[in-house]
Amino acid sequence: MNSVHSAILDPRLGWITLAMLSIVWVWLGWFWGRNAKALDEYVLAGRRVGLALGTATAMATWVTSNTTMAAPQLAFQMGIWGMLGYSLGAVGLLMFAPLAQRIRKLMPNGYTSGDFIRLRYGKGAWRLFLAISLCYGLGWLVSMGMAGGILINALTGIPYHYGMTIILSICVSYTLLGGFRAVIGTDFIQSLLILSGLVVIAWLAIDKVGFDRIHAAVVEKRPQLLNLLMPAALMFLFNNLLFGVGEVFHSNVWWSRAFSFREGIGFKAYFTAGILWMPIPVVAGFIALAVPALDLNIPAADMVGPMVAGELLGVTGAVLVLVMVFSALSSSLDSLLAATSILVVEDLYRRHWRPHATASQLRKATVIAIIGLGILTWLLCVPRLATLAELLYFTGAFVASTIWPIAAGLYWRRTNPTGAVVAMGLGSMAGLAGYFAIGFYVAALIGAFVSMVIVLLSTWLWPRDFNWDNLHESHPQGESPC
């Protein structure tokens, strides 16, 4: 959709802003990654990431384009619970904090979440998990690429396909140049920009419109947004909680950080990041409640955030939103590109095709994987087949089905491997059935419930003993697998 005539920023100003941000991120990527020559340095920053950078990268990665775009959309569609429900995504980070500490203890030489599933449950569960994880990863990448195109189009009038291409190209470029060191370093800067931008926008929005005017307009024009008993909103509340937990528990984005943090840092970093992240969707979603007071015509629900911000704050506010959300997009896209490329190279390329690959071959494979993921994401973003929320929660059925197999596998020595495989498979299918039969807001809820029942019953009826030392896998010839 081309919205040049209704855009808040002049397209020329939009191009200048994007060009400046792009140059900064690419230069920072090169600067921080220029000494990351060894594979272990390139993919896990040498396993020496401290608390400040660890907290910043976890929080910035979780403040995705979905947070800044889908949170207002859900508040606009589901009201109070849509806004607060999205903030429950922080529970995933909070609950992963003790898991990160245990992961580092059980797998000091680990590289991917796939390593854990393969060693804990066997190759059948591992391959099913890889399918789930890669499907989720692509869904997340596509949702962020779409959000970039939508935001840039709404704010500047630059066509959707151009904006989407810009954000993907920049993130692929600096991730290639600097690897995980570049991701960690830019995440720190991006987290500061995101938090500063949200504080400024929230303060200005409240100052210009005010709570009383917003509340009165919502009561008059859209009272259902204040209904705390709206069935769809209540289902979404619990669905999003489980979706967030599933996203974090299974994704290599978070496992790779657990492996990269210094010993003893994982719990503190993830817990602090969860606390800091929790109010962000509330602030981002709050501005959608101003739509009735501003009497705006919203052509598409996933455009509500940038349109309200631009109406309230004018050109300066539009530039601020563009910088803030460009940072949010970059902080998540680079993390996902880096983590998914490790998963592809280690669990697909090395484990399936080239078990004796050299360090040089693995480095080349990583570069090819990052570029390939960028191209595939671009191809899937072009049609713009769904809204951001629908696309995001389509993956909920898959990721929520992994919660119990992963948590039980990390803490229960007798978890049944066959039960874990069946739980992931049937949980995903049941969640997808709920997605199409009922709606996107129940997929994770159904998937997690079915998976839980299967894991608990199989472990109770057919327990299987496991030796934790089997997770202490070392790589041949001391080489990092990438």
Whether the Cβ atoms of residue 343 and residue 370 lie closer than 8 Å to each other? no
Single pTM value for the model: 0.84
Whether the Cβ atoms of residue 410 and residue 366 lie closer than 8 Å to each other? no
102: tokens are 């245990």
pLDDT at 90 over 70: yes
The full DSSP string for 440-464 is GGGHHHHHHHHHHHHHHHHHHHS--
pLDDT at 360 over 80: no
pLDDT at 3 over 70: no
Whether the Cβ atoms of residue 349 and residue 341 lie closer than 8 Å to each other? no
The full set of domains in the chain, from first to last, is 11-389 (1.20.1730.10)
Nearest to 63 by CA among 402, 269, 326: 326
Cα–Cα distance measured from residue 295 to residue 221, given in angstroms and rounded to the nearest whole number: 10
By CB atoms closer than 10 A (0-12, 13-18, 19+), residue 479 is middle
- Tell me which residue has tokens 């259902």: 224
481: tokens are 């697998």
Name the percent of the chain lying above pLDDT 90.
32
Cα–Cα distance measured from residue 336 to residue 108, given in angstroms and rounded to the nearest whole number: 22
pLDDT at 269 over 90: yes
Instruction: Fill in the DSSP letter of residue 402.
Output: T
pLDDT at 30 over 80: yes
3-state secondary structure of 388: helix
Mean of all residue pLDDT scores within the chain: 83
385: tokens are 């087949």
Backbone angles phi, psi at 440, to 5 degrees: -65, -20
- pLDDT at 384 (0 to 100): 76
Greater pLDDT, 394 or 260: 260
- pLDDT at 452 (0 to 100): 95
Which helix (H) or strand (E) covers residue 146, if one does? helix 123-156
pLDDT band at 16 (very low <50, low <70, confident <90, very high): very high
- pLDDT at 190 (0 to 100): 82
Q: 126-174: per-residue pLDDT in tens?
A: 999 999 898 888 888 888 888 788 878 877 888 999 999 999 999 999 9
In terms of average pLDDT, the best of 180-189, 286-295, 313-322, 446-455 is: 446-455
Q: 209-243: per-residue pLDDT in tens?
A: 777 888 788 888 878 777 777 676 677 777 778 87
Cα–Cα distance measured from residue 409 to residue 322, given in angstroms and rounded to the nearest whole number: 42
- pLDDT at 99 (0 to 100): 94
Greater pLDDT, 104 or 239: 104
Whether the Cβ atoms of residue 322 and residue 14 lie closer than 8 Å to each other? yes
The full DSSP string for 83-100 is HHHHHTTHHHHHHHHHHH
Q: 444-481: per-residue pLDDT in tens?
A: 889 999 999 999 999 999 999 999 999 886 554 444 44
* Burial state string for 88-118 with b = 16 or more CB within 10 A and e = fewer than 16: bbbbbbbbbbebbbebbebbeebbbbbbbbb
- pLDDT at 370 (0 to 100): 92
- pLDDT at 204 (0 to 100): 73
Greater pLDDT, 478 or 60: 60
Q: 387-428: per-residue pLDDT in tens?
A: 655 666 677 788 889 999 999 999 999 999 999 999 999 999
